[in-house]
Amino acid sequence: MIKLQNICKSYFLGDEQVKAVCSVDLEIKDGEYVGILGSSGSGKSTLMYLIGLLEQPTEGKILLDGKDVSKLTDDELSHIRNRNVGFVFQQFNLINKFTVLENLLMPTKYFKGKLDFDPLTRADELLKKFGIWDRRNFFPNKISGGQQQRVAIARALMMKPKIILADEPTGNLDSKTGDEILNLLEELNKELKVTIIIVTHEKDVALRTKRQIYIKDGSIVKKYL
């Protein structure tokens, strides 16, 4: 599915070069349910951006289904990302001036090409599946946090992606609602066989996944400290 080979990602802070991720080798296979666990500043967010093709590595290769995507143009990456990767964020990242339904349809608006499904039918199916169909004409700031996260997950699934990347998906939720969201992600992994990667600083959340990857100081380590 996705393979990182000797990946490094550096940034410049003034004249100083900072390595956010260094010498990372990682393979995530089709249908896996993985947790990436690290403290603040460990490099886990940078690693997520690399896996999600939001960032290009300074060194190394990223292979998606065997194809090297680490040197593609921004437009080429955008097209691949739009169809293959769905994102779920801690802040939900819904657009308040658009309804729930309109938020779900957003990824289809950016796709350049012919879709193999009807967007409205797909959106209705997802809204019903997640129990929020009756909220389709509501604006995001008029529904609960748990409902907003369900909308975000539904939006992430709109394009039938191979990978769902969830960045601290329970961070803005109470423990009960957080458990419901984790249960939902687990069900999606089992039912749809979609690869799900949860990025978190919470050990309890990471341990809900089937495999844990620990990152510290930009490198993968064997044990979370």
Q: Note the pLDDT tens digit of each residue in 210-225.
A: 999 999 999 999 876 5
Instruction: Look at the pTM and tell me if it is higher than 0.85.
Output: yes
> Is residue 139 assigned to a domain?
yes
> Is residue 5 assigned to a domain?
no
- Can you tell me the distance from the alpha carbon of 54 to that of 69, in angstroms, rounded to the nearest whole number? 11
Q: Which domain, by its residues, includes 131?
A: 31-58+72-221
List the structure tokens of 46: 């940078």
- For residue 190, pLDDT over 70 is answered with yes
Q: What mean pLDDT do residues 64-85 have?
A: 90
Is there a contact between 44 and 31 (Cβ–Cβ < 8 Å)?
no
- For residue 106, pLDDT over 60 is answered with yes
- Can you tell me the distance from the alpha carbon of 100 to that of 173, in angstroms, rounded to the nearest whole number? 19
Q: How confident is the model at residue 189 (pLDDT cuts 50, 70, 90)?
A: very high
> Is residue 200 assigned to a domain?
yes
State pLDDT tens for residues 128-177. Answer: 999 999 999 999 999 999 999 999 999 999 999 999 999 999 998 999 99
List the structure tokens of 59: 């060194």
> Is residue 45 assigned to a domain?
yes
CATH label of the domain that carries residue 166: 3.40.50.300
- Can you tell me the distance from the alpha carbon of 53 to that of 111, in angstroms, rounded to the nearest whole number? 16
pLDDT value for 111? 85
Quote the number of domains for the chain. Answer: 1
> Is residue 202 assigned to a domain?
yes
Q: Which whole-number Å values give the CA distances from 33 to 36, 86, 185, 193, in the listed order?
A: 10, 14, 9, 9
Q: Name 35's bridge partners.
A: 198, 212
pLDDT value for 18? 86
> Is residue 15 assigned to a domain?
no
Q: Give the strand pairing for 85-89 and 163-167.
A: parallel
> Is residue 24 assigned to a domain?
no
Average pLDDT, the chain: 93
Q: What mean pLDDT do residues 69-77 have?
A: 88
pLDDT value for 79? 87
> Is residue 65 assigned to a domain?
no
Q: How confident is the model at residue 13 (pLDDT cuts 50, 70, 90)?
A: confident
pLDDT value for 37? 96
